[in-house]
Structure 1
Amino acid sequence: APQFPRYTRAEVAQHRTPKERVWVTYGTEVFDVTDFVELHPGGPDKILLAAGGALEPFWALYAVHGQPHVLELLRDYKVGELSPEDAAPPPGDTEDPFAGDPPRHPALRVNSLKPFNAEPPPELLTQSFLTPNELFFTRNHLPVPAVEPGSYRLRVEGPGGRALSLSLSELRQRFPKHEVTATLQCAGNRRSEMSRVRPVKGLPWDIGAISTARWGGARLRDVLLAAGVGDHTGDGEWHVCFEGLDTDASGTPYGASIPLKRALSAEAEVLLAYEMNGRELPRDHGFPVRVVVPGVVGARSVKWLRSVAQKDYKGFCPSVDWDSVDFGAAPAIQELPVQSAITEPRPGAAVPAGELTVKGYAWSGGGREVIRVSGGRRWGGEMRYNVQPDTVGPIWNLRGVLSNAWHRVPVTVTR
């Protein structure tokens, strides 16, 4: 067998572009796939997402890569082996509060590591209608809690001191399973565009803080009714408050709330979800149970849920939610406006003259339908009585939230 040189992961990571050569690893082997980039059936942009790193997380997204002929093809491009010290991942830092966080897909574009916040690349976001769990955008405020499913209990507080304490199995068995396809979007999606007008406070999300999944779980309505919670007709001050198991150094949990009317509405389809795209919830997305509130800002869909309580508006649970400037004076963001963005081509791309295929997404909050997406000189979504503004300037705000102006992508036309 031929002898191959050994390389460190750092040396492999230096080869990320066709100009510098494109290297990838698979197992403990190193491959130079520069000459294959333009031949890749999924297009050069997809294979370049793995440049300088491991192929495994990307191949796992598409079953075709598991076929024997694909591995045989890859062997033709082998240039080396990983050095022994880099053949295994480095040990974690046990004193780091984030050391217990789960592994993440390397295609995610990271906005902050600790806590972990990341979005999928635009070209993968519109690859399928349902976002793969591994690519679903991640919005964390604190370290991901490690929950033992056998000892997990969800506390649901009703009026007059009445309460339920539900195990994961009781939640599954006692209440009918309901499924809903819902898109979650962070209020800060496209914040980076607002920051180009004037500086804003918050993570610099591009257009990927939005993802879609098929969620399965118990209706919040069913659980609240079982706990004795009823509708307060004519009283708009009552909310249902959620607390998560993720806590800061002082023990304060992340929390949020939604109006009681929405929580009890059969049409709103609010879930206490334990499944995501037909699989158990991943740790980054709320295992073992999270709230899913369709059509409402993602911050209300609390993960790692530990308690549900009916309270009046002035009695919110402790919250580290930073999507509003002043919790006392400003109402919490609930439903989101119409939104759309272009995912392909990417900004700065060189495109040939003539007909061009443009890909993107369009979505509207509150369960309202998108009526039209306009092309030509603009790309904007429209729902009944609500259209996207043409520029971001008039909707600029300190926190950079609800950024939904027409999305523009500059390209260079080649002939």
Structure 2
Amino acid sequence: MQHLRHCQVLTRVLLPSSHSAQQLKNNIPLASACSGLLSLRWGSGSSHQGHNYYSSRGPRFRYVLTGLVAGTGAVLAYGLHHNKAEQAAASVTHTSSLPVYSQEEVTKHSSLDQGVWVTYKGSVYDITDFVAKHPGGDKILLAAGGALEPFWALYAIHGQDHVLEILSEYKVGVLRPEDCKKQEIANSTDPYSTDPPRHPALIVNSLKPFNGEPPPALLTDNYITPSALFFKRNHFPVPQVDPSKYRLQIEGLLGGTISLTLEELKSRFPKHTVTATLQCAGNRRSDMHKAKQVKGLNWGVAAISNATWSGARLRDVLYHYGFDTEVTAKARHVQFEGLDLDVTGTSYGASIPLNKAVSEEGDVLLAYEMNGEDLPKDHGYPVRVIVPGTVGARNVKWLGKIIVSEEESQSHWQQNDYKGFPPGTDWDTVDYKSAPAIQELPVQSAITQPADGSIVDSNMEEVTVKGYAWSGGGREVVRVDVSVDGGKTWHVAEFQNSEEGQKPELSPPPGQAWAWKLWEITIPFPEGAQELELVCKAVDSSYNSQPDTVLPIWNLRGVLNNSWHRVKVKVN
């Protein structure tokens, strides 16, 4: 039991530098580099002795989510409360001289039978007793007998003080100088060093992997979001793909394996263009977090953007290579795998229902252009899937493989993440199989101007409110209601086009409203008002509307927040 305290990890506040001091003061611990979730059962529901131990300790051991765990891309709740005695014990350092080991000696300790040793920055650690308690499961054994640096470099969480304090308790020696130099050369490459540059205006939610959103005020300046400002959601380093060597594999029930070059994809199939909005499932998570703590990246209202996408229809490609009634009788899903990889070599994966994939009205693209140019590296160059009306997580970037299958993708991000659960579900009771993977998203709207906490001049006697609205599944937004008094009275906003003063284009065909609508309204101040509570809510073509509060839709992952968006401004 002496090592159990080494699993106690305190959640740290991780916010982009653009946040104010007051936001830092008020913020609750957030997950900064989330690409998925594992339950506290250390996997997909199996009981683990470490979990049972902590559960038996009662309410004193309260779990909180902190960050990514190497090898799984998962966010795990494993922070525990320290008492002063435990803190003092954990801070004790070894002052006596430690033995010097060669890399060859360390390498011999690469299994549970021989002991598990690792090196980090010139020190040697015996982590045998920690393996069973590692939040990422036995993926830690990938580093057994070698260096931690290549694995830890993928996830910023490992560089934090509390993780290093845990590691320090397992130190058994130091690595001889000549082997240290060899490791420095081998570990000198940062897996994120080849990531593309990003626009400085982006609000950064995590650097490695990079996740960022534009400032709300810039988001709705353009109907078509400039590629540089389009929100960026990455799970791993951006892969470097040589377009001349790129091959798209198509497998599964079509029979055999088809290999398509980029040029063949462009030349064999008609080019189709769709204007479509992508939204992360975690958009507006920060609002849900204010109501009750949730786990994940601290997205504001701008994890959503709109672009034109061009490429071959997935439907055309599948039918060209043998999709027919015989395949239809068996197939139920189309799976996608990206070329971005985690430390285990596992690619990001997802799937969509077959009927969406092959529907003539589904407009699913194998896109190679964004806003009239080649896909930017951050957005899936050279080819990505665009699934209009569907959550961003299914729009797989850097597409490497398509699988026509009877089964849904078994990837972590399809089975153990991007799912919605009821408000009463917590990390001890979550059952991932009890909820379907998110596909279509609910109706959504948000205010982008004015900003929360801003001041308006009373001499103006009115306030102009701007924002966006969108609904999943191709359902068109037909109305946006706006209030300046917290929802007591309502006004209907006008939809805007990208050009000043122009009206939106004609309504799209029913079920194919893939793009958002930007809206604007100017409303007089209520008499004597010193503070305005601005509220917006949207209604789609199926008359779905947004819930007025967060708590009825709250979930432990902080996804699917489409409650009324509220912004408070002061009248000067």
Fold conserved between structures, TM > 0.5: yes
The one-letter code sitting in structure 1 at the alignment partner of 2:463 is L
Structure 2: distance between partners of 1:140 and 1:229: 32
The one-letter code sitting in structure 2 at the alignment partner of 1:360 is G
1:332 corresponds to which of 437, 445, 448: 437
Structure 1 residues 105-124: aligned runs within 5 Å: 105-124=199-218
Task: Give the equivalent residue in structure 2 for 1:411.
Answer: 569
Query: Could you give the per-residue CA deviations for residues 48-92 of structure 1, whole angstroms, max 9, x where no partner exists?
Result: xxxxxxxxxxxxxxxxxxxxxxxxxxxxxxxxxxxxxxxxxxxxx
1:318 pairs with 2:423? no
The one-letter code sitting in structure 2 at the alignment partner of 1:382 is V
Task: Give the equivalent residue in structure 1 for 2:176.
Answer: none
The one-letter code sitting in structure 1 at the alignment partner of 2:555 is N
Distance 1:268 1:403, change over 3 A: same
Task: Give the equivalent residue in structure 1 for 2:556.
Answer: 398
SS at structure 2 position matched to 1:375: strand
Report how many aligned residue pairs link the two structures: 324
Distance 1:288 1:317, change over 3 A: farther
Structure 1: distance between partners of 2:564 and 2:347: 36
TM-score (normalizing by structure 1): 0.75
Query: Could you give the per-residue CA deviations for residues 141-200 of structure 1, whole angstroms, max 9, x where no partner exists?
Result: 011000000000001125252332100000000000000000000000001111112111
1:347 corresponds to which of 436, 446, 452: 452
Q: Is the 8 A contact 1:158 1:228 kept in 2?
A: no
How far 1:323 sits from its partner (Å)? Answer: 1.8
Distance 1:222 1:94, change over 3 A: farther
1:150 corresponds to which of 244, 256, 265: 244
Q: Is the 8 A contact 1:231 1:264 kept in 2?
A: no
Task: Give the equivalent residue in structure 1 for 2:289.
Answer: 195
Structure 2: distance between partners of 1:331 and 1:407: 26
Runs (4 or more) in structure 1 with deviation over 6 Å come to 232-237
Query: Could you give the per-residue CA deviations for residues 93-132 of structure 1, whole angstroms, max 9, x where no partner exists?
Result: 9521111111100100000111100001101100010000
Task: Give the equivalent residue in structure 2 for 1:9.
Answer: none
Structure 2: distance between partners of 1:337 and 1:125: 20
SS at structure 2 position matched to 1:410: strand
Structure 1: distance between partners of 2:224 and 2:326: 36
The one-letter code sitting in structure 2 at the alignment partner of 1:338 is V
Q: Is the 8 A contact 2:254 2:321 kept in 1?
A: no
SS at structure 2 position matched to 1:141: coil
Q: Is the 8 A contact 2:249 2:259 kept in 1?
A: yes
TM-score (normalizing by structure 2): 0.55
Q: Is the 8 A contact 1:156 1:308 kept in 2?
A: yes
The one-letter code sitting in structure 2 at the alignment partner of 1:318 is S
Task: Give the equivalent residue in structure 1 for 2:543.
Answer: 385
Q: Is the 8 A contact 1:172 1:218 kept in 2?
A: yes
Task: Give the equivalent residue in structure 2 for 1:279.
Answer: 373
Task: Give the equivalent residue in structure 2 for 1:375.
Answer: 482
Distance 1:203 1:413, change over 3 A: same
Distance 1:166 1:327, change over 3 A: farther
Distance 1:227 1:244, change over 3 A: same
The one-letter code sitting in structure 2 at the alignment partner of 1:357 is T
Q: Is the 8 A contact 1:158 1:224 kept in 2?
A: no
Structure 1 residues 102-251: aligned runs within 5 Å: 102-159=196-253, 161-230=255-324, 238-251=332-345
Structure 1: distance between partners of 2:238 and 2:447: 31
Structure 1: distance between partners of 2:326 and 2:236: 34
Q: Is the 8 A contact 1:215 1:278 kept in 2?
A: yes
Structure 2: distance between partners of 1:150 and 1:101: 20
Q: Is the 8 A contact 2:217 2:449 kept in 1?
A: yes
How far 1:318 sits from its partner (Å)? Answer: 3.1
Query: Could you give the per-residue CA deviations for residues 334-373 of structure 1, whole angstroms, max 9, x where no partner exists?
Result: 0011100000000100012211111100111111111110
Structure 1: distance between partners of 2:437 and 2:257: 26
In structure 1, list runs of 5 or more residues that go unmatched.
Answer: 1-13, 18-92
Distance 1:225 1:98, change over 3 A: same
Specify the structure having the higher radius of gyration (Cα). 2
Structure 2: distance between partners of 1:132 and 1:298: 17
Q: Percent of counterpart pairs with the same letter?
A: 60
Q: Is the 8 A contact 1:214 1:278 kept in 2?
A: yes
- The answer to which of 377-386 and 125-134 deviates more is 377-386
SS at structure 2 position matched to 1:135: coil
Distance 1:405 1:231, change over 3 A: farther
Distance 1:183 1:249, change over 3 A: same
How far 1:236 sits from its partner (Å)? Answer: 9.3
Q: CA RMSD in A?
A: 2.1
